[in-house]
Amino acid sequence: MLAQHPLTSLKGVGEKQFEKLQKLGLFVVQDLLFHLPLRYQDKTRLVELSSAQVGGEILIEGTIFSQTLSQGRRRSLLVTLQTESGHFVTLRFFHFYPRQAQQFAHGKTVRVFGELRSGHNGLEMVHPSYEFIHPDQYVPLDSTLTPIYPTTEGLGQASMLKLIKQAIALLKQSPLEELLPQKLLVQLQLPLLNQALLTLHQPQPSDDLRQIKQFQHPAQQRLIIEELINQQAAMQQMRATEKQRNAPAFPPSQTCNALLTSLPFELTFAQQRVLKEIQNDLSQPHPMQRLVQGDVGSGKTIIAALAAIQAADVGYQVAIMAPTEILAEQHLEAFNEWLEPLGIPVAWLNGRMKVAEKREMMAQIETGAARVIIGTHALFQEAVTFHKLGFVIIDEQHRFGVHQRLSLHEKNRDKDIHTHQLIMTATPIPRTLAMTAYGDLDLSVIDELPPGRKPIETAVLSNEKRFEIMEHLYAKCKQGIQAYWVCPLIEESELLHAQAAEVTASLFSEHWPDLRVGLIHGRLKGEQKALVMNAFKQHQLDLLVATTVIEVGVNVPNASLMIIENAERLGLAQLHQLRGRVGRGRKQSHCVLLYQAPLSQTGKARLNIMRETTDGFKIAEEDLKIRGPGEVLGTKQTGGLEFRIADLKRDAEWIPVAKTWASTMIIEFPEQIDALNERWIGQKIDYQHA
């Protein structure tokens, strides 16, 4: 079994070599087989210069015509080659030994492989590899394409190739087990595993290199689908396990209806649908695991409140986790307004509480006197013990902590009670990405905004217009609107970041002393932040100059103008989040994206997307295309999203296919599913922890 053969069993792998291989994630022989080439060189045919394309890597043959030493800016050896058809190409060497120069004697035949470029004096190749050919000797061409592998320092192509060759020889002796069902391979027209691996390590000249380059070759697709099926199956099994656990069932609640009738608005159809889905989950004796996606302003908070009532009504506690203190405070306000009149006490934990106050609150949580408790993620991680926690609502906004989801139920005094979990996010996640990143969750989407909202109008302007925009903003504020001015993170330092906002705020105050300007950034203490936010909310401030701390969930409906500086540096999803702070009232809102010229083509295209649409899903799809899944999810740590071969961006279309086959295989081929897991995940983990 190649999965058990350690790499040290191969020729040429000692301790040192093994260490380097481990760096590449290679531990056993089987890993080498899944270590696929980055690209290939074609040395299977000679190319005539007349038909060659500049930029391509080609193999040519010719006789040496002349040789010169160029003493230009860099000394170099220039060898001119004439091909059979009479075309010339110059070989350029910057590093060479005198002996090497002597070798290139007039009239000798040489076979050369390199990238064809167009130089000052016609075609050239820089540092090609070459081989002298004796005129009467027949030197056969390669019969397969030459793979180029990812390597690491101190481990060259040649050594890697030798190792792979050994691994392939072993593969031929003891092929890997085929784990995908025959009917899948037939239906999707994909090759067998062993065949696919051989093709990718040693493609034949007849294999379509262009297809391979674009990852469209059936051999690649076969591996991609296998890896994705494994990932989807793992998610589905995780979810099934969770579904078997016991959780308290909360029956439908009358109190919930009481809140509904007292609201000054009616739920949108989308809100009603999502609420039903949640209520249904909560009434089951198994833990809900649900992700609610709803664009900024779609009204997720009221849904959370209505759901919380269902648990609180029968005496269970509900924890509501917000990503920041500002947001926690805002939730507190909303929940107080909605739940207190119904006799449900709302409590909160915050970082600014005095020790005694906090201790008192903790005690209330522990005795069960506090029923609905709001706090930040961080606060709930501290030493909180719940009396009877039955439901956790996580408002992640765009900040995900998949790893943080989890184990709150362990904070229950009775650790056997599992909690229902509802995760709310304002990040529109493209469907394929959601399936992968949140495949263990059920998904609800609030795909409708409350009526009467006017789409925000967005303009994209050069930073040169900065002062004019400031003047415009002042005039607007004098007419009674409120505005945000956002200075995004330019330096990694929180300090410089804060300073940029400070400078802008004082610039406003200098020029327009009667403009009421507030400043908010990450270096302010929680208390100060809350003061500024409140003043803005109560229209004691006209303008709020802020760093990107503002993006999470701030709700001030009277604010209808937002300026974002250096917009070109922010991701589309983040811009969308920021922009969502306006457009919350009845007034027409405007957003100005300022950029630092010159703007690249893609930069321009990206900002134009922001101008053209306010549809978060469209924006997220574009962001996924441009920046990849890590950025769309707002975190670099996309735990569980690292693949060996598959790429969520490139292979998105395969994800739904993999999902379907994973469910089929779990039922029909459970042993293969276990073996797949062992193949794609098990090994790696075992060895890393060894």
What kind and span of H or E run contains 539? Answer: none
Taking contact as CB under 5 A, which single stretch among the options 117-125, 205-213, 415-423, 551-559 is the one that binds Mg ion? 551-559
Residue found by looking up tokens 């303008």 in the block: 543
CB of residue 505 to Mg ion, shortest distance in Å: 26
User: Of 426 and 433, which CB lies nearer to ligand ADP in the complex structure?
Assistant: 426
Determine which residue in the list 302, 460, 505, 541 makes contact with ligand ADP, applying CB under 6 A.
Answer: 302
Question: Among 295-303, 478-486, 544-552, 630-638, which window interacts with ligand ADP (CB under 6 A)?
Answer: 295-303
Nearer to ligand ADP, 37 or 294 (CB): 294
Residue 243 CA, chain-centre distance (Å), reads 27
Among the candidate windows 190-198, 265-273, 464-472, 541-549, which touches ligand ADP by CB under 6 A?
Answer: 265-273
In the complex with ligand ADP, the residue whose CB is nearer, 298 or 672, is 298
Q: Counting contacts by CB under 6 A, is residue 298 touching ligand ADP?
A: yes
Stretch that binds ligand ADP, among 173-181, 187-195, 253-261, 292-300 (CB under 6 A): 292-300
Q: Return the bridge partners of 603, or none.
A: none
> Using CB under 6 A, which residues numbered 538 to 557 contact ligand ADP?
555
CB 252, CB 309: distance < 8 Å? no
Nearest to 581 by CA among 570, 571, 590, 568: 590
E strand or H helix at 403, and its extent?
none
Q: Which residues lie below 8 Å from residue 95, measured CB to CB, with a gap of 6+? A: 127
Give the total residue count for the chain.
690
Tell me the per-residue interface mask from 449 to 488 with ligand ADP, x by CB under 6 A, - otherwise.
Answer: -x--------------------------------------
User: Which of the listed partners (Mg ion, ligand ADP, none) does 271 bind, with a CB threshold of 5 to 8 Å by partner kind?
Assistant: ligand ADP
Residues 210, 213: Cα–Cα separation, whole Å: 5
Q: Are 331 and 320 in contact (CB under 8 A)?
A: yes
- Would you list the DSSP string of 196-250? HHHHHHS--TTS-HHHHHTT-SHHHHHHHHHHHHHHHHHHHHHHHHHHHS-----
Region from 59-67, 229-237, 298-306, 433-441 binding ligand ADP, contact rule CB under 6 A: 298-306
Residue 197 C-beta: closest distance to ligand ADP, Å: 48
Report residue 582 as tokens. Answer: 């306006």
State yes or no: residue 603 binds ligand ADP (CB under 6 A). no
How many angstroms separate the CA atoms of 104 and 107, rounded?
Answer: 9
Rounded to the nearest 5°, which phi and psi values hold at 70?
-95, 135
Q: Which is nearer to Mg ion, 32 or 394 (CB)?
A: 394
Query: Which phi-psi region, left, alpha or beta, contains residue 397 (left: φ > 0; alpha: ψ -120 to 50)?
Result: left
Residue nearest to ligand ADP (CB): 299
Among 202, 220, 221, 301, binds ligand ADP (CB under 6 A): 301
Please count the residues of this chain forming the interface with Mg ion, following the rule CB under 5 A: 1
Residue 601: CB atoms within 10 Å: 7
Exactly one of 297, 428, 585, 629 binds ligand ADP (CB under 6 A); that residue is: 297
Q: Does 553 interact with Mg ion (rule: CB under 5 A)?
A: yes
Q: Which is nearer to Mg ion, 184 or 554 (CB)?
A: 554
Cross-strand partners of 317: 389
Q: How far is CA 637 from the centre of its chain?
A: 8
**Under rule CB under 6 A, how many of the chain's residues touch ligand ADP?**
16
Strand, coil or helix: 590: strand
Q: Which of 80, 268, 504, 672 binds ligand ADP (CB under 6 A)?
A: 268
| Residue 294 site contact among ligand ADP, Mg ion, none (CB < 5 to 8 Å, cut-off depends on kind) | ligand ADP
**Sole residue written with tokens 């027409």:** 588
Based on CB atoms, which residue is closest to Mg ion, 323 or 430? 323
- CA distance linking residue 437 with residue 432, whole number of Å: 9
Q: In whole angstroms, how close is the CB of 554 to ligand ADP at the nearest point?
A: 9
Q: Which stretch binds ligand ADP (CB under 6 A): 250-258, 291-299, 415-423, 457-465?
A: 291-299
* Residue ranges in 424-453 that form contacts with ligand ADP under rule CB under 6 A: 426, 450
Selection from 228, 251, 399 nearest residue 312 by Cα: 251
- Rank residues 67 and 534 by Cβ distance to ligand ADP and give the closer one: 534
- Write the burial class of residue 87 (CB in 10 Å: 0-12 exposed, 13-18 middle, 19+ buried): middle
Residues that bind ligand ADP (CB under 6 A): 265-268, 271, 294, 296-302, 426, 450, 555
Residues that bind Mg ion (CB under 5 A): 553
